[in-house]
Amino acid sequence: MNETPTRKNPAIFCNDRIHAVRCPNQKLTAEVTASRWRMTDGQWTSWKIVDCPLLPAGLIDCNMSCLSQLEGILKAEIDPRG
């Protein structure tokens, strides 16, 4: 009988986070969604804003200057010791 091997840890190809950040352009706080993707060599891309309630649906047409705030939050999540 042939058994198909099962993976104990399924491969994760996308990582999403939702956090409140302050938009320096519009001077408002917004809960943005950021994503990063695993590349073929196993490394991860940098974080990108993929959804922002301050912009029309599906349109991320800004300089993403809030991303530095988000990267600080995400770094603290990974390593809470700083």
Q: Pick 30 or 82 by higher pLDDT.
A: 30
**Strand ranges inside the chain, DSSP E:** 14-23, 28-37, 48-51
Residue 31, domain extent: 14-78
Residue 39: closest CA among 60, 3, 11, 72: 11
Q: How many separate domains does the chain show? A: 1
Q: Is residue 51 part of a domain?
A: yes
Instruction: Please check whether residue 72 is in contact with residue 82, taking contact to mean a CB–CB distance below 8 angstroms.
Output: no
Count of alpha carbons within 13 angstroms of residue 70, beta-carbon side: 27
Cβ count within 10 A of residue 32: 24
Q: Would residue 33 count as lying in a domain?
A: yes
On whether residue 5 sits in a domain, the answer given is: no
pLDDT digit string, tens, across residues 1-47 = 445 455 455 567 888 889 999 998 889 999 999 899 998 888 989 88
Quote the pLDDT of residue 11. 62
Residue 3 is predicted with a pLDDT of: 52
Question: Which pTM does this prediction carry?
Answer: 0.68
26 domain residue, yes or no: yes
In a domain, 70, yes or no: yes
In a domain, 1, yes or no: no
Domain membership of residue 8 (yes or no) is no
Q: Confirm whether 6 is domain-assigned.
A: no
